[in-house]
Amino acid sequence: MKSVSFRNKTWDVAADLHLPEGFDEGGKYPAIIVAHPISSCKEQTAAIYAVKLAELGYVCLAFDASTQGASGGPGRYLEDPATRVEDFRCAVDYLVAQDFVDADRIGVLGICGGGGYAVNAAMTERRFKAVATVVGANYGRISREGDLSPDAAIKALEGICAQRTAEARGAEPAITSYIPRSQEELEATGIKDVDVVEAVDYYTTQRGRQPGSPNRLNVVSTQAGFGFDAFHLADQLLTQPLQIIVGGGQAGAFGSYRDGFELFDKARSARKNILVVPGATHYDLYDQPEPVGKAMAQLKTFFAENL
Protein backbone atom coordinates (compact mmCIF):
# COMPACT_ATOMS: atom_id res chain seq x y z
CA MET A 1 0.00 0.00 0.00
CA LYS A 2 1.19 3.52 -0.69
CA SER A 3 -0.31 6.91 0.03
CA VAL A 4 -1.27 8.97 -3.02
CA SER A 5 -3.50 11.93 -3.81
CA PHE A 6 -5.58 13.24 -6.69
CA ARG A 7 -7.22 16.54 -7.47
CA ASN A 8 -10.84 17.53 -7.12
CA LYS A 9 -11.10 21.05 -8.54
CA THR A 10 -8.49 23.03 -6.55
CA TRP A 11 -7.71 20.67 -3.66
CA ASP A 12 -6.03 17.33 -3.02
CA VAL A 13 -7.99 14.20 -2.10
CA ALA A 14 -5.98 11.81 0.07
CA ALA A 15 -6.02 8.13 -0.88
CA ASP A 16 -4.35 4.80 -0.22
CA LEU A 17 -3.41 2.69 -3.21
CA HIS A 18 -3.55 -1.00 -2.27
CA LEU A 19 -1.49 -3.13 -4.65
CA PRO A 20 -1.56 -6.87 -5.38
CA GLU A 21 1.25 -9.06 -4.12
CA GLY A 22 4.08 -9.17 -6.64
CA PHE A 23 2.85 -5.93 -8.20
CA ASP A 24 4.64 -5.12 -11.47
CA GLU A 25 4.43 -1.48 -12.50
CA GLY A 26 4.90 -2.60 -16.10
CA GLY A 27 1.76 -4.76 -15.99
CA LYS A 28 -1.92 -3.97 -16.54
CA TYR A 29 -4.33 -4.51 -13.67
CA PRO A 30 -8.06 -4.19 -13.16
CA ALA A 31 -8.85 -1.57 -10.54
CA ILE A 32 -11.55 -0.96 -7.95
CA ILE A 33 -12.33 2.30 -6.16
CA VAL A 34 -13.46 1.68 -2.57
CA ALA A 35 -15.57 4.36 -0.86
CA HIS A 36 -15.92 4.69 2.89
CA PRO A 37 -19.18 5.18 4.81
CA ILE A 38 -20.53 8.53 5.91
CA SER A 39 -18.52 9.78 8.94
CA SER A 40 -15.78 7.25 8.17
CA CYS A 41 -12.31 7.41 6.60
CA LYS A 42 -10.19 5.31 4.28
CA GLU A 43 -8.39 3.49 7.11
CA GLN A 44 -11.55 1.88 8.50
CA THR A 45 -13.85 -0.61 6.75
CA ALA A 46 -12.83 0.68 3.32
CA ALA A 47 -9.29 -0.51 4.02
CA ILE A 48 -10.52 -3.96 5.07
CA TYR A 49 -12.27 -4.50 1.75
CA ALA A 50 -9.50 -2.83 -0.28
CA VAL A 51 -6.84 -5.10 1.22
CA LYS A 52 -8.90 -8.22 0.52
CA LEU A 53 -9.61 -7.16 -3.06
CA ALA A 54 -5.93 -6.39 -3.63
CA GLU A 55 -5.18 -9.94 -2.49
CA LEU A 56 -7.36 -11.07 -5.39
CA GLY A 57 -5.23 -9.15 -7.88
CA TYR A 58 -6.95 -5.77 -8.11
CA VAL A 59 -5.38 -2.37 -7.71
CA CYS A 60 -7.62 -0.72 -5.11
CA LEU A 61 -7.94 2.98 -4.41
CA ALA A 62 -9.54 3.90 -1.06
CA PHE A 63 -9.91 7.64 -0.55
CA ASP A 64 -11.00 10.13 2.09
CA ALA A 65 -13.99 12.18 0.96
CA SER A 66 -13.25 15.84 0.27
CA THR A 67 -13.16 17.98 3.46
CA GLN A 68 -12.89 14.79 5.52
CA GLY A 69 -10.01 12.69 6.82
CA ALA A 70 -6.70 13.80 5.30
CA SER A 71 -8.34 15.35 2.23
CA GLY A 72 -8.55 19.05 1.49
CA GLY A 73 -11.53 20.95 0.24
CA PRO A 74 -13.66 24.04 0.78
CA GLY A 75 -14.08 23.80 4.55
CA ARG A 76 -13.99 20.89 6.99
CA TYR A 77 -16.36 18.05 7.85
CA LEU A 78 -18.82 18.75 5.03
CA GLU A 79 -21.33 16.10 3.95
CA ASP A 80 -22.14 17.52 0.54
CA PRO A 81 -23.52 15.00 -1.99
CA ALA A 82 -22.37 16.86 -5.09
CA THR A 83 -18.78 16.99 -3.85
CA ARG A 84 -18.90 13.39 -2.63
CA VAL A 85 -20.06 12.20 -6.07
CA GLU A 86 -17.46 14.30 -7.89
CA ASP A 87 -14.74 12.64 -5.79
CA PHE A 88 -15.51 9.38 -7.61
CA ARG A 89 -15.05 10.93 -11.04
CA CYS A 90 -11.76 12.45 -9.98
CA ALA A 91 -10.65 9.10 -8.57
CA VAL A 92 -11.27 7.53 -11.97
CA ASP A 93 -9.27 10.33 -13.59
CA TYR A 94 -6.37 9.38 -11.34
CA LEU A 95 -6.59 5.68 -12.16
CA VAL A 96 -6.82 6.05 -15.95
CA ALA A 97 -3.64 8.15 -15.85
CA GLN A 98 -1.68 5.25 -14.31
CA ASP A 99 0.02 3.06 -16.92
CA PHE A 100 -0.47 -0.06 -14.77
CA VAL A 101 -4.29 0.31 -14.69
CA ASP A 102 -6.46 -1.26 -17.38
CA ALA A 103 -8.82 1.65 -18.08
CA ASP A 104 -11.44 -0.71 -19.47
CA ARG A 105 -11.60 -2.73 -16.24
CA ILE A 106 -12.44 -0.28 -13.45
CA GLY A 107 -15.09 -1.04 -10.84
CA VAL A 108 -16.41 0.60 -7.71
CA LEU A 109 -17.37 -0.65 -4.26
CA GLY A 110 -19.15 1.62 -1.81
CA ILE A 111 -19.94 0.88 1.83
CA CYS A 112 -22.94 2.37 3.69
CA GLY A 113 -23.39 5.99 2.51
CA GLY A 114 -20.38 5.49 0.24
CA GLY A 115 -22.47 2.85 -1.52
CA GLY A 116 -25.24 5.31 -2.25
CA TYR A 117 -22.74 7.84 -3.55
CA ALA A 118 -21.02 5.15 -5.66
CA VAL A 119 -24.32 4.22 -7.30
CA ASN A 120 -25.14 7.85 -7.99
CA ALA A 121 -21.72 8.47 -9.51
CA ALA A 122 -21.86 5.32 -11.65
CA MET A 123 -25.00 6.51 -13.44
CA THR A 124 -22.99 9.19 -15.23
CA GLU A 125 -19.46 7.82 -14.79
CA ARG A 126 -19.47 5.25 -17.56
CA ARG A 127 -15.84 4.34 -16.95
CA PHE A 128 -17.15 2.22 -14.09
CA LYS A 129 -17.77 -1.19 -15.61
CA ALA A 130 -19.11 -2.90 -12.45
CA VAL A 131 -20.80 -1.49 -9.34
CA ALA A 132 -21.03 -3.09 -5.89
CA THR A 133 -22.42 -1.95 -2.56
CA VAL A 134 -22.09 -3.35 0.95
CA VAL A 135 -24.92 -2.15 3.21
CA GLY A 136 -25.33 0.73 0.76
CA ALA A 137 -27.49 3.53 2.15
CA ASN A 138 -29.26 6.47 0.51
CA TYR A 139 -28.05 9.58 2.37
CA GLY A 140 -30.90 11.69 1.04
CA ARG A 141 -33.53 9.34 2.40
CA ILE A 142 -31.80 9.22 5.77
CA SER A 143 -31.73 13.03 5.87
CA ARG A 144 -35.40 13.40 5.02
CA GLU A 145 -36.75 10.77 7.38
CA GLY A 146 -36.05 12.55 10.65
CA ASP A 147 -38.54 11.04 13.08
CA LEU A 148 -40.48 9.59 10.11
CA SER A 149 -42.59 12.77 9.92
CA PRO A 150 -42.30 15.04 6.85
CA ASP A 151 -42.67 18.00 9.20
CA ALA A 152 -39.49 16.94 11.01
CA ALA A 153 -37.46 17.40 7.81
CA ILE A 154 -38.94 20.87 7.28
CA LYS A 155 -38.20 21.84 10.88
CA ALA A 156 -34.63 20.60 10.52
CA LEU A 157 -34.16 22.60 7.32
CA GLU A 158 -35.49 25.73 8.98
CA GLY A 159 -32.91 25.31 11.73
CA ILE A 160 -30.12 24.73 9.21
CA CYS A 161 -31.12 27.82 7.27
CA ALA A 162 -31.17 29.91 10.45
CA GLN A 163 -27.62 28.74 11.16
CA ARG A 164 -26.60 29.54 7.59
CA THR A 165 -27.92 33.07 8.03
CA ALA A 166 -25.96 33.42 11.26
CA GLU A 167 -22.77 32.27 9.56
CA ALA A 168 -23.35 34.63 6.64
CA ARG A 169 -23.42 37.40 9.24
CA GLY A 170 -20.13 36.31 10.77
CA ALA A 171 -20.90 33.51 13.21
CA GLU A 172 -18.51 30.58 13.54
CA PRO A 173 -19.46 27.40 11.65
CA ALA A 174 -21.65 25.07 13.69
CA ILE A 175 -20.08 21.63 14.12
CA THR A 176 -22.05 18.73 15.53
CA SER A 177 -21.51 14.98 15.78
CA TYR A 178 -22.99 12.21 13.64
CA ILE A 179 -23.58 9.89 16.60
CA PRO A 180 -23.19 10.00 20.41
CA ARG A 181 -19.53 10.57 21.20
CA SER A 182 -19.13 7.78 23.75
CA GLN A 183 -20.86 4.81 25.31
CA GLU A 184 -21.78 7.03 28.26
CA GLU A 185 -23.34 9.66 26.00
CA LEU A 186 -25.26 6.95 24.15
CA GLU A 187 -26.66 5.60 27.42
CA ALA A 188 -27.72 9.12 28.43
CA THR A 189 -29.75 9.49 25.21
CA GLY A 190 -31.68 6.29 25.83
CA ILE A 191 -31.30 5.31 22.15
CA LYS A 192 -31.57 1.56 21.63
CA ASP A 193 -31.59 1.35 17.82
CA VAL A 194 -29.14 -1.33 16.69
CA ASP A 195 -27.46 0.82 14.05
CA VAL A 196 -26.78 3.69 16.44
CA VAL A 197 -25.64 1.38 19.23
CA GLU A 198 -23.25 -0.47 16.93
CA ALA A 199 -22.06 2.77 15.31
CA VAL A 200 -20.93 4.02 18.72
CA ASP A 201 -19.21 0.69 19.37
CA TYR A 202 -17.46 0.82 16.01
CA TYR A 203 -16.41 4.47 15.80
CA THR A 204 -15.69 5.40 19.42
CA THR A 205 -13.80 2.34 20.68
CA GLN A 206 -10.63 0.51 19.73
CA ARG A 207 -12.72 -1.64 17.38
CA GLY A 208 -12.71 0.96 14.61
CA ARG A 209 -11.61 4.33 15.95
CA GLN A 210 -9.27 6.28 13.64
CA PRO A 211 -7.96 9.88 13.74
CA GLY A 212 -9.39 10.53 10.28
CA SER A 213 -12.92 9.83 11.55
CA PRO A 214 -13.47 12.32 14.40
CA ASN A 215 -17.30 12.20 14.39
CA ARG A 216 -17.60 15.85 13.37
CA LEU A 217 -20.16 17.28 10.94
CA ASN A 218 -20.66 20.78 9.58
CA VAL A 219 -24.35 21.51 10.22
CA VAL A 220 -24.93 23.84 7.27
CA SER A 221 -23.44 21.31 4.85
CA THR A 222 -26.30 18.92 5.55
CA GLN A 223 -28.80 21.22 3.82
CA ALA A 224 -28.18 19.79 0.34
CA GLY A 225 -28.70 16.22 1.51
CA PHE A 226 -32.41 16.77 2.07
CA GLY A 227 -32.89 17.30 -1.67
CA PHE A 228 -30.62 14.44 -2.72
CA ASP A 229 -31.69 10.95 -3.80
CA ALA A 230 -28.79 8.57 -4.40
CA PHE A 231 -30.98 6.32 -6.55
CA HIS A 232 -32.73 8.98 -8.64
CA LEU A 233 -32.69 7.90 -12.32
CA ALA A 234 -31.25 4.47 -11.52
CA ASP A 235 -34.11 3.05 -13.56
CA GLN A 236 -32.79 4.94 -16.58
CA LEU A 237 -29.03 5.42 -16.16
CA LEU A 238 -27.71 2.60 -13.97
CA THR A 239 -26.96 -0.12 -16.51
CA GLN A 240 -23.66 -1.59 -15.31
CA PRO A 241 -23.57 -5.02 -13.63
CA LEU A 242 -24.66 -4.50 -10.03
CA GLN A 243 -23.96 -6.44 -6.85
CA ILE A 244 -25.81 -5.46 -3.66
CA ILE A 245 -24.93 -6.95 -0.27
CA VAL A 246 -27.04 -6.35 2.84
CA GLY A 247 -27.29 -7.84 6.29
CA GLY A 248 -30.15 -10.16 7.14
CA GLY A 249 -30.00 -9.55 10.88
CA GLN A 250 -31.83 -6.89 12.85
CA ALA A 251 -32.58 -3.87 10.67
CA GLY A 252 -31.78 -0.45 12.11
CA ALA A 253 -32.44 3.22 11.55
CA PHE A 254 -29.89 3.66 8.77
CA GLY A 255 -32.09 1.55 6.50
CA SER A 256 -29.49 -0.20 4.37
CA TYR A 257 -31.59 -3.37 4.14
CA ARG A 258 -34.57 -1.63 2.58
CA ASP A 259 -32.33 0.64 0.49
CA GLY A 260 -30.66 -2.46 -0.93
CA PHE A 261 -33.94 -3.92 -2.12
CA GLU A 262 -35.17 -0.58 -3.41
CA LEU A 263 -32.01 -0.23 -5.48
CA PHE A 264 -32.25 -3.80 -6.73
CA ASP A 265 -35.83 -3.27 -7.88
CA LYS A 266 -35.09 0.10 -9.45
CA ALA A 267 -31.76 -0.46 -11.22
CA ARG A 268 -31.91 -0.82 -14.98
CA SER A 269 -28.90 -3.16 -14.89
CA ALA A 270 -29.54 -6.34 -16.88
CA ARG A 271 -27.11 -8.19 -14.61
CA LYS A 272 -27.89 -7.56 -10.96
CA ASN A 273 -27.79 -9.62 -7.80
CA ILE A 274 -28.59 -9.05 -4.14
CA LEU A 275 -27.00 -11.10 -1.37
CA VAL A 276 -28.52 -11.13 2.11
CA VAL A 277 -25.93 -12.23 4.66
CA PRO A 278 -27.94 -14.21 7.25
CA GLY A 279 -27.91 -12.81 10.77
CA ALA A 280 -25.54 -9.95 9.94
CA THR A 281 -26.25 -6.43 11.12
CA HIS A 282 -25.18 -3.29 9.26
CA TYR A 283 -21.95 -2.96 11.26
CA ASP A 284 -21.15 -6.67 11.21
CA LEU A 285 -20.45 -6.15 7.52
CA TYR A 286 -17.90 -3.45 8.33
CA ASP A 287 -15.34 -5.62 10.07
CA GLN A 288 -16.59 -8.90 11.52
CA PRO A 289 -14.65 -11.77 9.91
CA GLU A 290 -17.47 -14.19 9.14
CA PRO A 291 -19.95 -11.75 7.51
CA VAL A 292 -17.15 -9.88 5.73
CA GLY A 293 -15.88 -13.23 4.46
CA LYS A 294 -19.30 -14.03 3.01
CA ALA A 295 -19.49 -10.61 1.39
CA MET A 296 -16.01 -11.02 -0.05
CA ALA A 297 -16.82 -14.45 -1.50
CA GLN A 298 -19.64 -12.83 -3.45
CA LEU A 299 -17.55 -9.83 -4.47
CA LYS A 300 -14.79 -12.15 -5.69
CA THR A 301 -17.21 -13.85 -8.06
CA PHE A 302 -18.91 -10.63 -9.12
CA PHE A 303 -15.77 -8.69 -10.03
CA ALA A 304 -14.15 -11.73 -11.69
CA GLU A 305 -17.17 -12.04 -13.97
CA ASN A 306 -17.56 -8.34 -14.74
CA LEU A 307 -14.10 -6.75 -14.83
pLDDT of residue 117: 98
Instruction: Give me the half-sphere count of Cα atoms (radius 13 Å) on the Cβ side of residue 155.
Output: 8
Whether the pLDDT of residue 149 is over 90: the answer is no
CA quadruple 98, 78, 39, 256: dihedral sign: negative
Written as one string, the DSSP assignment of the chain is -EEEEEEETTEEEEEEEE--TT--TTS-EEEEEEEPPTT--TTTHHHHHHHHHHHTT-EEEEEPPTTSTT---SSSS---HHHHHHHHHHHHHHHHTSTTEEEEEEEEEEETHHHHHHHHHHHH-TTEEEEEEES---HHHHHHHTTT-HHHHHHHHHHHHHHHHHHHTTPPPPEE-SS-SSHHHHHHHT---HHHHHHHHHHSSTTT--TT----EETGGGGGGGG--TTTTHHHH--S-EEEEEE-S---TT-HHHHHHHHHHH---SSEEEEEETT--TTHHHH-HHHHHHHHHHHHHHHHHH-
Query: Residues 147, 245, 279, CA angle at the centre, nearest 5°?
Result: 75
Q: What is the mean pLDDT of residues 257-281?
A: 98
The residue type at 110: G
> How far from chain centre, in Å, is Cα 23?
27
Task: Tell if the pTM clears 0.95, that is, is over it.
Answer: yes
pLDDT digits (tens, 9 = 90+) for 33-56: 999 999 999 999 999 999 999 999
pLDDT digits (tens, 9 = 90+) for 157-216: 999 999 999 999 999 999 999 999 999 999 999 999 999 999 999 999 999 999 999 999
| Interatomic CA distance for residues 65 and 41, integer angstroms | 8
Q: What is the mean pLDDT of residues 125-137?
A: 98
Strands 11-18, 29-35: pairing kind: unpaired
| Percentage of the chain lying above the pLDDT 70 cut | 99
> Dihedrals φ, ψ of 2, to 5°?
-140, 150
| Interatomic CA distance for residues 65 and 86, integer angstroms | 10
* 8 Å CB contact between 287 and 208: yes
The residues facing 274 across adjacent strands are 244
What rounded mean pLDDT belongs to the chain?
97
Whether the pLDDT of residue 135 is over 80: the answer is yes
| Percentage of the chain lying above the pLDDT 90 cut | 97
Q: Which residues, at least 6 apart from 65, have a Cβ–Cβ distance to it below 8 Å? A: 13, 35, 36, 71, 83, 84, 87
216 CB neighbour count, 10 Å cutoff: 14
Whether the pLDDT of residue 147 is over 70: the answer is no
pLDDT digits (tens, 9 = 90+) for 12-23: 999 999 999 999
pLDDT of residue 239: 98
Q: What is the mean pLDDT of residues 273-285?
A: 98
Q: What is the mean pLDDT of residues 121-136?
A: 98
| Interatomic CA distance for residues 292 and 135, integer angstroms | 11
* 8 Å CB contact between 273 and 260: no
